[in-house]
Amino acid sequence: MTDRFQSYGFELAFIDEGARDAPVVMLVHGFASSLRVNWIDPGWVATLTSAGYRVLAFDHRGHGDSDKPLDPEQYTPQRMAGDMRALLEARGIRRAAAFGYSMGARVSAFAALSDAQRWPVLVFGGLGIGLVNGVGDWDPIVEALLAPSLDDVSDERGRMFRAFADRTRSNRQALAACITHSRREVGRDEVARITQPALVGVGTRDEIAGSPEELAALLPAGEAFAIEKRDHMLAVGDRTFKAAVVDFLGRHRERFAP
C-alpha cells in the first residue's frame, strides 16, 4: 500500500518500509518502471529491510501511481532530484544512501551533485559511462511510445520500451514527455565532483548503460560491479548484484546512519 507526498505541486506515491531507527536507503526507479516493478517485485525491498535498512521508494512523476504531467519541462533531472529531497523532508530524514537504476541512477547523480551531505553513499545500477556519454538516440523511443500500437514500431529499442510501457500499463504520453528532458548527461568535471563512495553495477549484456568500469574510474571513490550474463532489464533482480549492494552498503553504513 503506497502513501503520498507533495513535491513541486505534484502528488507522488511512495513506500516507507523497515525499522524507523535504521539507516535509510532511497530507491529511485528507472524509466517506464515503478517502485513495484523495479524494487518490490524483484525483491529489493525485502533484501534491504532484511539487511537492517529502512527503505524509501517512490514512483517518479509520470510513472506508477504518481501524478503524470504532460509538460516536458516538468521532467528535468534537477526537478526529479528535487522529488528525492522532498521525500526525505516529508519523512523528517536528514540523510540517506541513494540507489538509482538506469534513469533513476542519472537522477541520483544530480541529487548527489546538488547536496552531497544529504546523499553520502551512492549506488548506480543499470548506468555506466552512459551517464557521461549518453545512451544513444532516444527519439525512436518517443516515437514508439506515441505509436498507435506495438505493431507499428519497427525500431528494436523502441519496441523494447513500448512493450515494457504496455506491460506496466503506463501513461505513454507522460513517458514521452519525461524522456524529452530527463536524459541530460553529466559532464566529466561534474562526475569528478561526486566524491561519495559509489558502486556502479551494470549487466555484461547491457547494450544501453555503457561500461561500469569507465564510470567508476571517473568517480573519486567509485567501484564497478559486472552483473554477469544480464541485460538491462534482467540485471535489476540479479542475486549477485543484491549481494554486492548489501556488502557495499554495509562497508559504508556509518556514513548514512541516522
pLDDT of 181 > 80? The answer is: no
Q: What is the pLDDT of residue 67?
A: 98
- Judge whether 29 and 104 are in contact, CB under 8 Å: yes
Q: How many C-alpha atoms does 250 have within 13 Å on its Cβ side? A: 12
CA 77 remoteness from chain centre: 11
Q: How confident is the model at residue 222 (pLDDT cuts 50, 70, 90)?
A: very high
In the chain, where the domains are located = 3-135+188-256
pLDDT score, position 183: 75
Question: What fold is seen in the domain 3-135+188-256?
Answer: Rossmann fold (3.40.50)
User: pLDDT class for 36, splitting at 50, 70, 90?
Assistant: very high
74-93: per-residue pLDDT in tens? 999 999 999 999 999 999 99
Residue 257 reports pLDDT greater than 80: yes
Give me the pLDDT at residue 41, please.
97
Q: What's the rounded Cα separation, in Å, for the pair 28 and 95? A: 15
First vs last C-alpha separation in the chain:
25
Compare 161 and 215 and report the one with higher pLDDT.
215
pLDDT (0 to 100) of residue 157? 87
Q: What is the pTM of this model?
A: 0.95
Question: What tens digit of pLDDT does each residue of 134-149 get?
Answer: 988 888 999 999 999 9
Please state which of the ranges 142-146, 153-157, 179-183, 250-254 shows the lowest mean pLDDT.
Answer: 179-183
What pLDDT is attached to residue 136?
80
The DSSP-derived string for the chain is: --EEEEETTEEEEEEEES-TTSPEEEEE--TT--HIIIIITTTHHHHHHHTT-EEEEEPPTTSTTS-----GGGG-HHHHHHHHHHHHHHTT----EEEEETHHHHHHHHHHHH-TTT--SEEEES-STHHHH--S--HHHHHHHHSSSGGG---HHHHHHHHHHHHTT--HHHHHHHHHHTTPPPPHHHHTT--S-EEEEEETT-SSS--HHHHHHHSTTEEEEEETT--TTTTTT-HHHHHHHHHHHHHTGGGG--
The CB-side HSE value for 189 (13 A sphere, CA atoms) comes to 0
177 confidence band (pLDDT: 50, 70, 90): very high
Report which of 10, 62, 63 is spatially closest to residue 36, judged by C-alpha positions.
63
Distance CA 165, CA 171 (A): 8
Measured CA to CA, the distance from residue 154 to residue 248 in angstroms comes to 40
